[in-house]
Amino acid sequence: MTDSSIINKAEAWLNSNIDEKSKQEIKDLLNAPDNTDLIDSFYKDLEFGTGGLRGLMGVGSNRINVYTIGMATQGLANYLKASFPGEEISLAITHDSRINNTLFAETTANVLTANGIKVKYFREMRPTPMLSYAIRYYGCQSGVMVTASHNPKEYNGYKVYWDDGGQVVSPHDKNIILEVLKIKSIDDVNWNKNDALKEYIEEDFDLFYLNEVKKLSMSPLTNLAEKDMSIVFSPIHGASGKMVPAALKVFGFENIHVVKEQIEPDGNFPTVKYPNPEEPEALDLSIKLAKEINAELVLACDPDGDRYAAVVKNEKSEYELLNGNQTGALIIYYLLSMYQEQGRLTGNQFTVSTIVTTGLLGEISKGFNVPYYDVLTGFKNIAAVILANEGKKEFIAGGEESYGFLVGDFVRDKDGVSACAIVAEIMAYYKQKNMNIIDVLAEIYMEYGFYKESLISITKKGKDGAEQIQELMKGFRTNRPKSINGIAISKIVDVQESKVYDMTDGTESVLDLEKSNVIQFYLEDGSKISARPSGTEPKIKYYISVNEKLPNREAYRATEASLEAKINALKKFFE
């Protein structure tokens, strides 16, 4: 039997000022013999997670539609007016290629202008990093990127940014949620748009962004020498199809081949199961083209262009997909090496990563005597560190294991566009030294340790799934394990409780990190497992990291296999 509060909520929507199509969909849900969809659509309101507002598209309070977008935007508008009293407020908006993205972006713009807020609206879809840069370039107080990033085609949503160009962090994220919660019905939204307050960002803005990207190059002469290096790129039907080739060209690369089956923006993502460059299947067409033309590098971005992936030729001339930790290590190592070579390391630089990203980034930074910050998951936390150090220290680079990276600070979110250009430069630089990328990784691992990571992502859908995930996390806290796969746990870090438990002597200490629903298990052999419910998807994720010494280049594959076996054994504990 359906909870009466859910039926009441559905009927309140039915009796509000919504369109007839949505009313019919609600009637169908109310009359359906199976109430699962009705419950999932109305049992709660959509919440802001680490990536903002995100969910399945459809009718209802727990779905993405013009009404939930409008209600969230009204809350955002109210918060902006309270935060900048008496000021002229402006906000930048763009979107990627997802289904309904133009509709949702226009809805966002309409509600904002109805509330007297100026909107700088990209005339054409553009990647997330360009939205972040536009906020800073035009001096906006906020920004909205309409996207569901790499989620399946059924999802949509938007990410909210603040005046620094980074995604909203505390207290703004929590305060926006409070304002959204005050919007009790669709009729509380001001829908009376004012087109006079809407100004378009035209194509010439691309050049402003690309000029900043070009400055990131550490070795332009190398790129010139390798300008004919063959590169395949795929935007996977997303918003980066124009900008990544342009970024590669301003870096000096000319031999670029875009995957024709995936170049057109299409929210149905017809050639892939998931539009996520982390998924090898999403790169099948790219690798097929690479084999046909004997390309040296394959690059791809997710639909909103903030994540990237790289496929390189290994020592057997086979195409090998690098994971986000590997490309992150390559970027950090290359940049710090070049900074050192050019005499630019002054002790005033820093790098940043997250607590579920490989510890190798911190080890490399330490090796160059560069301060390194470890922050909570979510790129907004990296942006917060950049903001806190603005004008004091120079941010070199930072990123996450989930294929998100940022070089330089003119953007304040993941930037797959500039990351692709940097990876191409790294490839060219080491090619000039007769080294392939696996050789470079081996060089890094011999010096700092061979780190290997893996992720288990378990989906639990709907209301029941959300409760199961909470029960799992509760179990880890109330019945802390002593070992995993026979390996003793030396330390447990509970980020939610701000506690560090030393399992060897039973002592506790305080963790100086913002609270988040994460538990980390540190094992005696140096392995680390982090358990974390996703903030944007109905998933619980387990991040596994193992490491050991790499004695020489010849031992690379044997050591890799040993680490893989260790990961597989640890996985069995959680699957």
User: Check: CATH 3.40.120.10 for 208-446?
Assistant: yes
Q: What are phi and psi of 94, to 5 degrees?
A: -145, -175
Residue 453 has pLDDT above 80, yes or no: yes
Edge-to-edge strand list for the sheet holding 394-400 = 372-375, 349-354, 394-400, 404-407
What gap in Å lies between CA 51 and CA 28, rounded to an integer? Answer: 31
CATH for the 450-572 domain, from 3.30.70, 1.10.3470, 3.40.50, 3.30.310 = 3.30.310
- DSSP category for residue 370: -
- DSSP category for residue 139: T
Tokens of residue 243, six digits: 């900008």
CB 242 within 8 A of CB 209: no
* Burial per residue of 292-318, b for 16 or more beta-carbon CB atoms within 10 angstroms, e otherwise: eeebbbbbbbbbbbbbbbbbbbbeeee
Q: Confidence class of residue 518 from pLDDT cuts 50, 70 and 90?
A: very high
Which segments of 178-251 are extended strands (E)?
A: 198-201, 231-234
Span 219-233, average pLDDT? 98
What gap in Å lies between CA 179 and CA 173, rounded to an integer? Answer: 10
Given this chain, do its domains 44-202 and 208-446 carry the same CATH topology?
Answer: yes
What gap in Å lies between CA 397 and CA 411, rounded to an integer? Answer: 11
* Among the ranges given (11-25, 38-52, 162-176, 344-358), the one the predictor scored with the smallest mean pLDDT: 38-52
Residues in the chain, overall count: 575
Residue 215 has pLDDT above 70, yes or no: yes
Query: What is the rounded (10 degree) CA torsion for 262, 263, 269, 274?
Result: 60
CB 530 within 8 A of CB 456: no
Residue 127 has pLDDT above 50, yes or no: yes
Residue indicated by tokens 């995957």: 259
Of 151, 153, 150, 158, the closest CA to residue 112 belongs to 158
Span 268-285, average pLDDT? 96
pLDDT at 49: 60
What gap in Å lies between CA 256 and CA 253, rounded to an integer? Answer: 7
Tokens of residue 87, six digits: 């000021």
Burial of 342 (0-12, 13-18, 19+ CB in 10 A): exposed
3-class state of residue 165 by DSSP: coil
Helical axes 205-214 vs 243-251, angle rounded to 10°: 40
What gap in Å lies between CA 427 and CA 440, rounded to an integer? Answer: 10
Burial of 393 (0-12, 13-18, 19+ CB in 10 A): middle
3-class state of residue 175 by DSSP: helix
pLDDT at 22: 96
**Model confidence over 373-394: pLDDT tens digits?**
999 988 999 999 999 999 999 9
What gap in Å lies between CA 367 and CA 374, rounded to an integer? Answer: 16
Residue indicated by tokens 């959204």: 180
**Model confidence over 233-255: pLDDT tens digits?**
999 999 999 999 999 999 999 99
Residue 1 has pLDDT above 50, yes or no: no
- CATH number for the region 44-202 comes to 3.40.120.10
Identified catalytic residue from 22, 149, 454, 530? 149
Span 301-324, average pLDDT? 97
Of 392, 427, 426, 429, the closest CA to residue 409 belongs to 392
What gap in Å lies between CA 106 and CA 195, rounded to an integer? Answer: 11
Q: Confirm whether 149 is a catalytic residue.
A: yes
Amino acid at 28: D
What gap in Å lies between CA 132 and CA 271, rounded to an integer? Answer: 29
- Sequential DSSP letters for 474-533: HHHHHS--SEETTEEEEEEEETTTTEEEETTT--EEE--S---S-EEEEETTS-EEEEEE
Q: What is the mean pLDDT of the chain?
A: 95
First-to-last C-alpha distance (Å) of the chain: 32
Residue indicated by tokens 């419910």: 533
CB 571 within 8 A of CB 454: yes
Where in the chain are the domains? 44-202, 208-446, 450-572
- Mapping DSSP onto H, E and C, the string for 287-354 reads HHHHHHHCCCEEEEECCCCCEEEEEEECCCCCEEECCHHHHHHHHHHHHHHHHHHCCCCCCCEEEEEE
CB 170 within 8 A of CB 514: yes
pLDDT at 51: 58
Of 557, 311, 318, 321, the closest CA to residue 427 belongs to 311
Residue 50 has pLDDT above 60, yes or no: no
